[in-house]
Structure 1
Amino acid sequence: MKSQLLLSMAIFLVGASPSIHADILLGAPGVAAGTRIATRVPFKIDHEITGSYKFVFSGIQAKGDTLGAPGASGTNGNGGQFHLKAGVSASGGTNTSERVGQIEFRNIQEYNTAPLKTILITPAAVFKATSAPIDIEITWQGGGNAHKPNGIFNVLGEYQKDPPIPTGSLSFASGQWILEDSPNPAGVATIVRE
C-alpha cells in the first residue's frame, strides 16, 4: 500500500510539473501563422507553396531567447554560436535560382539580448511564373548550441498566388463587324499584366 501511494505521488508530481519546451515560430509570406514551428535545435523544416505566380525573397529576421547552452566554447554556459539560415527556391518556369540568407549569433547571451535582427537581401530575389504556375520551396534551418530556444524566425518578402487581373482596352474603327466572316478584324488590342 505504501509503495502504491509513493508511486501515485510520483506520477502526480511528474504530471503536475510545468513542461519546458522550445518554440521558434517560423514565418514567411504565404505561410499561415503558427503552422511551422521548430521545437528543438538543430532543425530543418521545409514548406512548399504550390501553384504560385510570384514570390519575392527580400531578407530574414530573428529574435528570441534560450535557457543557455551546453558545452564550454563560451563563458558562463553560453556554449558557442547559434545560427539561423533560410532558403527559398522555385520549381521550373522561373529564371531565379535558390537564394539563402543567414543570421549568426556569437553566443547565447547575444541571442538572448539582441533586438530584432534583420538581414536584407539586395537585390531581392524575385521568383515569378512565366507560362505556368510555379511551386515555391521555403527551408528554415537552425544549428549551434542553444538549449530550448524560443522566438521568431521569419522569411521577409511578398507572395502573390495569382497573376493580376488583366487591364487594357480593345478598340476598333467605327462600323459594323461580323466575326463569322473574319476571325481577325482590323484593330488593336492591348492587354497589360503588371
Structure 2
Amino acid sequence: MLDSIVEWVVSLMELLGAPGVGIAILLENLFPPIPSEVVLPLAGFTVTAGDLSFWSTFLWATAGSVLGAWLLYWVGQAIGADRLRKIADWMWLVEPGDVDKALGWFDKYGSASVFFGRLIPGVRSLISIPAGIDGMNFLKFTAWTAGGSALWNALLIGLGVWLGARYDVVAQYIDQYSTVVYIILALAVVAVIVYLVRRSVKRRAEHD
C-alpha cells in the first residue's frame, strides 16, 4: 500500500511538479490513508535533487491543505448544529444539550484547536468539521488552518531536505507519535463513554 502511494506521488510530481504535491496533500486531507508524513518528506528529498524548489513545494502543499480543510469545513456547515442536536436526541446516552456544551467549548477554544489540530495525525482533517458545524468565522478558520498547516508542511519538507535519501525515517517516527496520539484519543473516548453511562444511570435512579 505504502509503496504504491509513493509511486503515485512520484509520478504526480514528475508530471506536475510542485502543484502535484499540492494535489497529493489536498487528497490527504480528504482521504487520510494518503499520509502527509510520506508525501512531504519525499517532496523534500526531491527538492535536494533540484527537481523542485522548496518554496514552491511549501506553498503548493499549504494551498492543498487549506483547500482540503475548506471542503471539510463546508461538510460541517452542511451538517449544522440543528441537525446534530436532532441526531443527539435520537442517540442513546447523548442529549441535545451535549451538542450545545461542545459548541460552547469550541467557541472558547476553537482557534487553538484548529491550529494545533493541524499538527496531529488523525485530527488534522477532522478538526475542520466541528469548525464548520460551529460556524467558526471563515476568515479566522482559514488563518489558523493556514498557520498550522504551514508549520507542519515546512517541518516535514525540511526534514526531507535534511535527510535526503533517508526521508522515509520521518514516517517511522511520526508513526510512533501517531500511535501515542491514538492511544490518548481512545482513552478520551472511553472516559467520555463512562461519563455518559454514569450520568444516564444517575438520572434514571433519580427518576425512579
Same fold (TM > 0.5): no
Larger radius of gyration: 1
TM-score, normalised by the number of residues in structure 1: 0.27
By percentage of residues, which structure has more helix? 2
TM-score, normalised by the number of residues in structure 2: 0.26
By percentage of residues, which structure has more strand? 1
Q: Which has the higher contact order (CA 8 A, sep 6+)?
A: 1
